[in-house]
């Protein structure tokens, strides 16, 4: 388990992380989300002692990382896939990590096989693609067989097969009872991977809740209705306070009423319905609702007109 208590980091007059308190539980994949500059990477760096908090504390299993005699055996982290010396081979890099932490060298070959790099383990890391470096970083995080694992943007540079492999790996590690804390900007992938979400905005906690609960709050949740008398039904629904929007396809999107109430009103009015279904918000929609006011580097809408 990871425990953060009032964790704060300031750089001069800028507060990167502001009084962050939460617990990242074992046995789950906890997604860590937020706009650029929200404080995610700084938080992870403080957990493993690379940055020192201005206030508060970060604990892993009730202890600070710096106080662990063999931290790699307790916490595995991939925070920067490019932090390996480019002149070393992948195997030499992992052997150095293993020897300095009392880990049997057989474990090196095991993790190289697990991440699919055994055939290129003797090649210099400087010749690796980004995806290959990500796999090597994951191997390093797994080397000490730790109970707590942290990954910062682990699927960057991976092809679809690699992304699927990472998803299965994360869920498999959590199923073994490990703590898995992973950040990503890929909302669709996070929706398929995480059980729980922690969302930051400008260094502050915006939400800490199960995935389903976060999505349920999204404004994209609606009821889809297709009917040959859609206009008539729309008037009746608006009369009881529902918000009704007509799509380009002629469907109605209804918010503010549950699906059973919409169906019952159509039945009572004698309006034929060709389709009645629930539309669930995506994680991306829910995330944008949460973080819209916390984006530090906002941009205009894309399009040719903006460039003229």
Q: Are 49 and 177 in a shared domain?
A: yes
pLDDT of residue 221: 81
Q: Are 255 and 106 in a shared domain?
A: no
pLDDT of residue 75: 96
Q: Is residue 89 part of a domain?
A: yes
Q: Is residue 294 part of a domain?
A: no
pLDDT of residue 217: 78
Q: Are 228 and 101 in a shared domain?
A: no
* Domain boundary residue, one of 209, 241, 264: 209
State in Å, rounded, how far the first CA of the chain is from the last one. 52
Q: Are 137 and 273 in a shared domain?
A: no
Q: Say which residues have a Cβ less than 8 Å from residue 160's Cβ, sequence separation at least 6.
A: none
Q: Is residue 305 part of a domain?
A: no
The three-state DSSP-derived secondary structure of 81-97 is: CCCCCCCCEHHHHHHHH
Q: Is residue 307 part of a domain?
A: no
Q: Is residue 272 part of a domain?
A: yes
Q: Are 31 and 132 in a shared domain?
A: yes
Domain containing 241 — which CATH number?
3.30.70
Q: Are 81 and 34 in a shared domain?
A: yes
Q: What is the pLDDT along the chain (308 residues), one digit of tens a residue?
A: 999 999 999 999 999 999 999 999 999 999 999 998 899 999 999 999 999 999 999 999 999 999 998 899 999 999 988 888 999 999 999 999 999 999 999 999 999 999 999 999 999 999 999 999 999 999 999 999 999 999 999 998 888 999 999 999 999 999 999 999 999 988 889 999 999 999 999 999 999 999 988 888 776 788 999 999 999 999 999 999 999 999 888 899 998 899 999 999 999 999 999 999 988 878 888 888 888 766 665 555 555 455 45
Are 25 and 180 spatial neighbours (Cβ–Cβ below 8 Å)?
no
Q: How far apart are CA 103 and CA 229, in angstroms?
A: 71
Q: Are 131 and 77 in a shared domain?
A: yes
pLDDT of residue 296: 60
As to burial, measured by CB atoms within 10 angstroms (0-12 exposed, 13-18 middle, 19+ buried), residue 19 is middle
Please give the residue range of the domain that contains residue 238: 222-279
pLDDT of residue 295: 62
Q: Is residue 296 part of a domain?
A: no
Q: Are 237 and 203 in a shared domain?
A: no
Q: Are 59 and 175 in a shared domain?
A: yes
Q: Are 172 and 201 in a shared domain?
A: yes
Q: How far apart are CA 41 and CA 43, in angstroms?
A: 5
CB atoms within 10 A of CB 272: 11
Q: How far apart are CA 178 and CA 104, in angstroms?
A: 21
Q: How far apart are CA 162 and CA 193, in angstroms?
A: 14
pLDDT of residue 79: 92
Q: How far apart are CA 110 and CA 90, in angstroms?
A: 13
Domain containing 149 — which CATH number?
3.40.50.300
Domain count for the chain, please give it. 2
């Amino acid at each position: 388990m990871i425990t953060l208590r009032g964790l704060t980091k300031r750089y001069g007059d800028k507060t990167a992380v502001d009084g962050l308190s939460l617990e990242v539980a074992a046995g789950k994949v906890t997604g860590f989300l937020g706009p650029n500059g929200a404080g995610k990477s700084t938080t992870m760096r403080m957990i493993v002692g690379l940055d020192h908090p201005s206030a508060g504390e970060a604990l892993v299993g009730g202890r600070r990382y710096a106080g662990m005699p063999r931290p790699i055996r307790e916490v595995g982290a991939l925070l920067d896939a490019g932090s390996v010396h480019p002149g070393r081979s992948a195997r030499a890099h992992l052997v150095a990590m293993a020897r300095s932490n009392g880990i049997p060298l057989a474990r090196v070959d095991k993790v190289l096989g697990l991440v699919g790099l055994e055939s290129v383990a003797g090649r210099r890391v400087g010749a690796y693609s980004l995806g290959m470096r990500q796999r090597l970083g994951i191997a390093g995080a797994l080397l000490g067989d730790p109970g707590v694992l942290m990954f910062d943007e682990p699927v960057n540079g991976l092809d679809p097969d690699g992304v699927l492999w990472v998803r299965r790996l994360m869920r498999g590690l959590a199923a073994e009872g490990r703590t898995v804390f992973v950040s990503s900007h890929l909302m669709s992938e996070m929706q398929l991977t995480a059980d729980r979400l922690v969302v930051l905005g400008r260094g502050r906690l915006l939400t800490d809740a199960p995935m389903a609960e976060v999505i349920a709050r999204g404004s994209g949740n609606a009821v889809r209705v297709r009917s040959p008398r859609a206009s008539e039904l729309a008037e009746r629904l608006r009369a009881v306070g529902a918000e009704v929007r007509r799509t380009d396809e002629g469907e109605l999107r209804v918010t503010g009423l549950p699906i059973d109430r919409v169906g019952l009103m159509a039945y009572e009015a004698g309006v034929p319905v060709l389709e009645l279904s629930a539309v669930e918000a995506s994680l991306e929609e829910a995330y944008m609702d949460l973080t819209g006011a916390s984006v530090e580097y906002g941009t205009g809408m894309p399009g040719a007109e903006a460039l003229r």
